[in-house]
Structure 1
Amino acid sequence: MIKELPNQAYFADGWQTTGKTFTVTHPGDGRVVGEVADCGPAEARRAIEAALEAFETWKRTNPYARAEILERWNELLLAHEAELGRLMSLEMGKPITESRGEVKYSASFVKWYAQEAVRLHGERVLSRFDHKRGLVSYEPVGVVYAVTPWNFPTGMITRKAAPALAAGCAIIIKPAEQSPMSALYLARLWEEAGGPKGTLQVLPTSDPVAFSQPFFEDERVRKVTFTGSTEVGRVLYAQAAKTLKRVSLELGGHAPFLVFEDADLDKAARDVVLSKFRNAGQTCICTNRVFVQQSVLGPFTEAFAAATAALRLGDPLLPETQVGPVVDAQGLAKVKEHVEDALAKGAKAVVGGKVREGLYFEPTVLSGVRPDMKIMTEETFGPVAPVIPFESEEEALRLANDTPYGLAAYAWTNNLARAWRVAEGLQYGIVGINDPIPTAMAPQAPFGGMKNSGVGREGGWWGLEEYLEAKFISMSIADGR
């Protein structure tokens, strides 16, 4: 199937060429993975018209029929796990075991929302008037424009598309330039599942600013959903305000991990490794700052450094690889800049700290980190973990919350009272207590952040509600005779 995808986008009447292409390369060694259609504003406008037409039929399609198509999409995703996982690893460098796991994760959203599609039953509203009856019906928002990131090329699509399609919306997806082929693969499977044309469209582009403009100008596009940086999210939020579109934004993070003196230090070290280094540290919820109580700083750092040093860095297509390359040269430059800044200001690389050939950076643990270092104020998005001491629970919470971000946070403690206090004190949308991957509970749990980490939630009923309008209907039954 991979060979069938290049040079095309999936929009309007189906698979289309645009006369222009751009290249997708493997970050592991720079080889060309393929060429994909390069879409512009003209293709965007055609996609909008096709989505509007499809929406009129799709929103009236029996929810059980919508659910059946979603169920088939789920089955196809699972059936194509190996090939889709390999394509993902080729495009953006995720280790193959993680890529295949992401396919299962992606399918779980499709499965869950297929089941939810038939539960949009509305509500009764009681009236204080004997002659009135009140109802609330839930109706689809309309045409949705989705901008998805490269670090979870399929998971971030199904987490948006599955609830949108279950609700009866039509969705247009602009995948990241680094990983458009995974998105096109999903479109092929949607088509194979029987998804009507125009309900889900995928249009890659090398110029996202120009391509996106028609979606923000057209008031008929009623919803924008975006996963990416806070800086870009602010721009899209402002643009969406001009036509008062519904908006969901899942933005940057700067996740703290608090390790208290009563923690099982070996387990805590392994959990920080799990949270920090998956996808080479390129996830919005991965640990960015490791705060350790002073009394156990030495033994924890030793255990953490040993676990980090044992990680296998290498070719993402090999099953034994645990950490692959970062996605591109820009990402590598930021990682390198953060480490060099920390070292220049007095930090020490306990493990790692160097660039390997290509786009590889060694899994790194830094000690002696101070608040004025870039790694403490900016999201590194790479395989680097600074370790910072704290004295008290109160200081730990103050340090953890001292950021404009509020997406995910973690803590390790065996003290039940402290666990509750810390969970309630952390100003984050997602909190893992002795749990390095709380999002594994998806798709039924809400995912989203506070403060500068976003607006809205994905997952569970909360994610479905983002694609629904609540309509109140009041009816008089008074006898007019």
Structure 2
Amino acid sequence: MNTANIVGNDRIPAIEGRELQVLDPATDELVATVPDSGPEETRRAIDAAASAFEQWRLVPPSERAEVLLTFADALKTDRERLASILTREQGKPLAESRAEIDYAASFLPVAAEAGVEILEERVDIPGKDVRVLQRPVGVTAAITPWNFPIAMLAKKTAPAMAAGCVQVIKPAEQTPLSGIAFVELGLEAGIPPGVLNVVTGTPGPIGDALLADSRVRKISFTGSTEVGRHLMRGGAENLLRLSLELGGHAPMIVFEDADLDRAIEVAMKAKFRNAGQTCISPNRFLVHHRLHDAFVERLADAASNLVSGRGDRDGVDLGPLIDDVAVAKVFDHIDDALARGAEIASGGGRRNPPGLTDRFPEPTVLLNTGPGMRCWHEETFGPVCPVRSFTDDEEAIELANRSDHGLAGYAVTDDPVRIERIARDLQAGIIGVNDGAPAVASVPFGGIRHSGFGREGGRWGVLEHLETITVSRIP
């Protein structure tokens, strides 16, 4: 696999020859090396994007849509190869990697349709001919995370291209190969050179170069709230448009009327995907006191039966955590909770699959947890389920909202009054009611409060990449 940067028609190494190693988190085996690029390589990518924009913005939306549909077909055709790359550098089970490719491909036809449907509007003003137009913002950038490296890239590139924008992509340093393979395939599918460009390397120098260049008019970022704040500060000079999908820390409320089978199904699906390394994963479980003991028993049993191992092996449910820092955070949260009065219902230790790294914490269910513990204030990003009981709906919603974040939230109930209250009062941009997978390509995805702003998905994602222009003419 050619791992050089993709800049217009060219494949370029880091100018000073620096490289980053890409390691398999399950084994620490070297998978590949990629350029450790800096400001100069980033500027060259912006040059290529700016040049390509002059032509791409003039391509009719229907023709851009055809390119996106061809790209979607290519992703489906090349699903196994892409899934293998993803699993090798990220660690998740192959079944999840395949599902991620399918999810990524689903964004392309949705964006294609939305791009075609964004039409000129006319406003009825006496004595005037007034038109409202939508123009692409221009050169954009995508800074993508390591946990869903292909899906998050598709969520950003598809609406940008559908709107007529071009993009410089900075993939996460842990998972750059997925981003390179994704863009390579797009170019083979007919995306003109320069419309998508990839620059790999450590985040700081590349990010600062993107912020400093006035030709970059928008950045879409998925990652931590701290980096989101840095981008806001850095983008102020150029009044940069931002879409920020930041930290999660989602609550899950199991109400008194909940069906226990469904509650366990939702919890398992939402929590343990990608070993808990998911921004919309529930991080706090609030369970009505009448269901609490049965819920904990069944959740602990189901979690204990999950199989850990290399993602490319049959029957594996949980791959490794991405690195040692992620593992340390999981055990710091467990230790802190235990020191403050929590108890372990299941897990709490490490699994040691033969011949693999020690990045496989046991799926863990904690009892008697609460707001004084780190796991209730910080996103764990691992397979840990802190559980707390509640007595009434008011208490549950108050506890659920006791966070600065607001990306996702979950509820299990069939009571229409409760559902409406959750929709009205739960502080989250994405709410799953009896649904452990509420994120689909055709609906808006994004958070509120410290979880960011801006939306990806459906027509909302395309609108984020457009400028609204009024043209008023007196006949």
Does TM, scored on the shorter chain, surpass 0.5?
yes
Check if 1:52 corresponds to 2:50.
yes
- 1:214: Cα distance to partner? 1.7
- 1:418: Cα distance to partner? 1.4
Q: How many residues align?
A: 468
Query: Matches of 1:446 and 1:395 in 2, distance apart?
Result: 29
Preserved CA contact (<8 Å) 2:115 2:462: no
Structure 2 counterpart of 1:294: 289
Preserved CA contact (<8 Å) 2:324 2:359: yes
Check if 1:112 corresponds to 2:107.
no
TM-score, reference length from structure 1: 0.96
Structure 1 counterpart of 2:445, which letter? F
Query: Matches of 1:120 and 1:423 in 2, distance apart?
Result: 29
* 1:36-75 matched pairs, under 5 angstroms: 36-75=34-73
Structure 2 counterpart of 1:316: 311
Structure 1 counterpart of 2:432: 432
- 1:148: Cα distance to partner? 0.4
Structure 2 counterpart of 1:20: 18
Spell out structure 1 runs of 4+ moving beyond 6 A. none
The DSSP-based 3-state class of the residue aligned with 1:126 is: strand
Query: Matches of 2:374 and 2:47 in 1, distance apart?
Result: 45
Preserved CA contact (<8 Å) 1:336 1:355: no
Structure 2 counterpart of 1:88, which letter? L
Structure 2 counterpart of 1:126: 124
1:24-65, CA deviations, whole angstroms, 9 ceiling, x for partnerless residues? 011111111111122111100111111111101110112222
Preserved CA contact (<8 Å) 2:308 2:351: no
Structure 1 counterpart of 2:184, which letter? R
Check if 1:208 corresponds to 2:206.
no
- 1:17: Cα distance to partner? 2.1
Preserved CA contact (<8 Å) 1:141 1:469: yes
Preserved CA contact (<8 Å) 1:423 1:433: no
Query: Matches of 1:31 and 1:5 in 2, distance apart?
Result: 19
Structure 2 counterpart of 1:353: 348
Structure 1 counterpart of 2:96, which letter? E
Query: Matches of 1:138 and 1:319 in 2, distance apart?
Result: 49
Structure 2 counterpart of 1:81, which letter? R
Preserved CA contact (<8 Å) 2:45 2:198: no
1:99-158, CA deviations, whole angstroms, 9 ceiling, x for partnerless residues? 10000000000121122232221211111x2x2111111100010011000001001101
Preserved CA contact (<8 Å) 2:115 2:459: no
Structure 2 counterpart of 1:163: 159
The DSSP-based 3-state class of the residue aligned with 1:438 is: coil
Which deviates more from structure 2 when the two are superposed, residues 261-270 or residues 196-205? 261-270
Query: Matches of 1:397 and 1:164 in 2, distance apart?
Result: 37
Check if 1:419 corresponds to 2:416.
no
Query: Matches of 1:300 and 1:468 in 2, distance apart?
Result: 47
- 1:210: Cα distance to partner? 1.3
- 1:243: Cα distance to partner? 0.6
Structure 2 counterpart of 1:385: 385
Query: Matches of 2:128 and 2:30 in 1, distance apart?
Result: 66
Preserved CA contact (<8 Å) 2:65 2:113: yes
Residue 35 of structure 1 is aligned with which of 33, 36, 39? Answer: 33
* 1:31-430 matched pairs, under 5 angstroms: 31-127=29-125, 129=126, 131-205=127-201, 207-357=202-352, 358-430=358-430
Preserved CA contact (<8 Å) 2:252 2:282: yes
TM-score, reference length from structure 2: 0.97
Which deviates more from structure 2 when the two are superposed, residues 161-170 or residues 214-223? 214-223
Query: Matches of 1:22 and 1:30 in 2, distance apart?
Result: 14
The DSSP-based 3-state class of the residue aligned with 1:432 is: strand
Query: Matches of 1:264 and 1:52 in 2, distance apart?
Result: 54
Preserved CA contact (<8 Å) 1:145 1:215: yes
- 1:431: Cα distance to partner? 0.6
- 1:200: Cα distance to partner? 0.2
Structure 2: gaps spanning 5 or more residues: 353-357
Structure 1 counterpart of 2:377, which letter? T
Query: Matches of 1:284 and 1:126 in 2, distance apart?
Result: 45
Query: Matches of 1:390 and 1:171 in 2, distance apart?
Result: 47
**Identity across the alignment (%):** 45
Which deviates more from structure 2 when the two are superposed, residues 168-177 or residues 216-225? 216-225
Structure 2 counterpart of 1:418, which letter? R
